[in-house]
């Protein structure tokens, strides 16, 4: 797996987890379960990017850089979904700031 798209997938999964925890606190679980999650949108884009990279390698009979296809195919659906749902500013500013302020670090 490439590093940058993998990090985006991890970020999307963590953000989805944060949204589920927030909706559980306000009893809006049906709303959270009825829509596509950021991880689902990003993983579909990742799969599409892998398919495009394989097709391009076959068509041009030469190896292609996978990041050329994976990064746009994962990032574009993620940003479009965030823009449509109005979460782009929250994602850009870092939604995990409140959680890390109250975290306890244990040094062993």
Q: pLDDT tens-digit profile of 5-47?
A: 889 999 999 988 888 887 776 665 554 445 789 999 999 999 9
For the chain, percent of residues with pLDDT exceeding 70: 76
Q: How far, in Å, CA of 23 to CA of 95, rounded? A: 15
Q: pLDDT tier at 49 (50, 70, 90 boundaries)?
A: very high
**Structure token pair of residue 53:** 């990279």
Cα distances (Å, whole numbers) of residue 9 to 38, 56, 89, 98: 8, 23, 18, 21
Q: Which uninterrupted H or E stretch holds 59? A: helix 38-60
For residues 69-95, give the mean pLDDT.
89
Q: What's the pTM value of the predicted model, to 2 decimals?
A: 0.75
């Amino acid at each position: 797996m490439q590093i940058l798209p993998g990090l985006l997938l991890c970020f999307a999964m963590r953000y989805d987890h944060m949204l589920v925890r927030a909706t559980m606190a306000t009893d809006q679980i049906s709303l959270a379960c009825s829509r596509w999650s950021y991880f689902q949108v990003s993983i579909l884009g990742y799969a599409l990017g892998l398919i495009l990279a394989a097709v391009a390698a076959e068509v041009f009979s030469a190896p292609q850089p996978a990041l050329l296809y994976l990064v746009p195919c994962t990032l574009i659906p993620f940003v479009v979904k965030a823009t449509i749902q109005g979460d782009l500013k929250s994602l850009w500013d870092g939604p995990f700031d409140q959680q890390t302020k109250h975290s306890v670090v244990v040094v062993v």
